[in-house]
Amino acid sequence: MMTRTELRRIERHSRLKSTIAPVSKPFVLIALHVLLLLLIVFIDGLDYKAKVALFAFLSAMILWVATKIPAGFVATALIVFIIIMNGAEADFLYQSLSEEVVWLMVGSFIIGEAVKESGLANRLTLLILSKASKKSKLLLGVCSVLFSTAFFIPSTSGRAALAMPILNQLSKKFTEKEKSVLGLIAPIIILMSTSAALIGAGSHIIGIGLLESTVNQSISFVEWFIWALPFTLVITFISYIIIKWLLWPKDSIDELEDFAVNETNHLQKGMSDSEKKTIILLSLLVIGWITEGIHGYDIAFITMVGAMIVMMPNYGIITWKQGIKSVSWNLILFVAAATALGNMLVETGVVQWIEEAMQNFLSSFVGAPEWFIVFVILLVTVTSHLYITSHTTRAIVFIPILLLFSETIGLNPTSVVFIGLIGMNYCVTVPVSSKALLFFYEEGEISYDANDLLKISAIMMPVYILIMMLFYFFYWQWVGLYL
């Protein structure tokens, strides 16, 4: 039994700890920002505006991960900071709302609401539930459905938008802690499965286009399927295992509630007119997304056309008011501001500066062993999402560098481009790294915490690189993909 003196000492220690803990964090953040400022000030090759943009972007990443300040407030405040520091004109703030991703997400929220209100989300939810008796089986079923969408929806954000209403329905079967894990599993599975198909991401098409125009080589749909599908299956399953191992509550009850009789009856009923209209619309949307290269309208515009159709008076699925209320304007402002911060890096020349540094870095490896060259390509491309948030921009910036690199030291350009594109598909460190992550960040009942995402990435990033290296030496070389 403890004495009074020991009890008082413990009490004093706990009081001191509770006093110091909240005070120390702001000082650490301030010290980090001061150190960041000093490092950026002494960078050669960047002008004043570029340094302001780089400081703001890195500051945003620190605050998103290390604090509970609303992400939208951080992003918008730093845009205001850039303008006050004369790093950009006031138009920079206003034009942030004209970003393509903003309208893509507005349209996606409205279409998601239509899917929910029509009853289709509930029907799909019941269909998945009818096949699973345990939560673990339910999660695997959801992951399988999300994986399969990579073969006919060429947009990670489009896949996230279609998944959200279904996942919101399914989340009712989970506890609060389990919901936050579901909010991470869904976008990460969407991102990891992107590599499965040639049309899984626009960056694939851009990369192959640059390969064709530069060295007159190409990668066919079948070749991509043979090379990428086995790797994608493995890395997606490993991602699922790691997330469950790290974050799934240890005291979770795996059994699901019995599938109610009324739920079975509802599933057996024929589809309503609203459900049929929604399926037709979704089918037309998918066709519109896939044929973007034919008709010339981008994915965001097609999505907004779909959103306007579902809100048409008398003929639509939901009303105008329902559609507008379904949009998470908090998230929209965050996405607008965060995307503008990323674009500022391109416009001020920060990305070009990084590109030149990488070019000099890569060209220094003439004569290096094969395993080391593969590792360097992967290290550069897998980490590229940390400083270039746009998937498309990463392809535009890095594929020409990789082609130049392959020409400089005599590598097979097709292999280099393929490995580079698969490497660039990794983007699960911070929410702003991917639109799919943004859809689930701080939104709805299945949102996740940025710190959890960082924990996952700390393990997944080296695992991703390791698995790619193993595939290169034990599978890709065997099927003709060699440097």
Position 295 in a domain: yes
Position 103 in a domain: yes
CB of 124 closer than 8 Å to CB of 114: no
Residue 29 and residue 139 in one domain = no
| pTM, to two decimals | 0.65
Residue 110 and residue 75 in one domain = no
- 214-219: long-range contacts, CB 8 A cutoff, minimum separation 24: 214/400, 214/403, 214/413, 215/403, 215/407, 215/413, 217/413, 217/414, 218/414, 219/414, 219/417, 219/418
Mean pLDDT of 79-107: 84
Residue 63 dihedral angles phi and psi, to the nearest 5°: -70, -35
pLDDT band at 462 (very low <50, low <70, confident <90, very high): very high
Position 111 in a domain: yes
Residue 271 and residue 325 in one domain = yes
Position 423 in a domain: no
pLDDT in tens, 35-75: 888 888 888 878 898 889 888 888 887 887 677 777 778 88
Distance separating alpha carbons of residues 294 and 438, to the nearest angstrom: 29
Q: Quote the tokens at residue 8.
A: 């008082």
Residue 179 and residue 117 in one domain = yes
Position 264 in a domain: yes
**Run of H or E residues at 280:** helix 273-290
Residue 102 and residue 165 in one domain = yes
Last residue of a domain, one of 304, 319, 334: 334
Position 397 in a domain: no
Residue 176 and residue 126 in one domain = yes
Mean pLDDT of 414-426: 89
Higher pLDDT, 323 or 443: 323
| Residue type (1 letter), 102 | V
Residue 161 and residue 310 in one domain = yes
Last residue of a domain, one of 96, 114, 142: 96
Q: How many structural domains does the chain have?
A: 2
Position 314 in a domain: yes
Distance separating alpha carbons of residues 60 and 174, to the nearest angstrom: 32
Position 83 in a domain: yes
pLDDT in tens, 94-143: 888 887 767 877 887 788 778 777 877 667 766 766 666 677 777 787 78
Residue 77 and residue 170 in one domain = no
Last residue of a domain, one of 65, 80, 96: 96
At residue 1, does pLDDT exceed 50? no
Q: Quote the tokens at residue 329.
A: 């304007």
At residue 470, does pLDDT exceed 90? yes
Residue 314 and residue 180 in one domain = yes
Q: Quote the tokens at residue 309.
A: 């159709």
Q: What is the pLDDT of residue 129?
A: 66
Distance separating alpha carbons of residues 407 and 278, to the nearest angstrom: 50
Residue 174 and residue 261 in one domain = yes
Structural domain containing residue 142? 98-193+254-334
Residue 135 and residue 30 in one domain = no
- Tokens 């960040």 belong to 441
CB of 62 closer than 8 Å to CB of 45: no
- Tokens 């893509």 belong to 104
Nearest to 44, CA basis, from 329, 349, 402, 303:
349
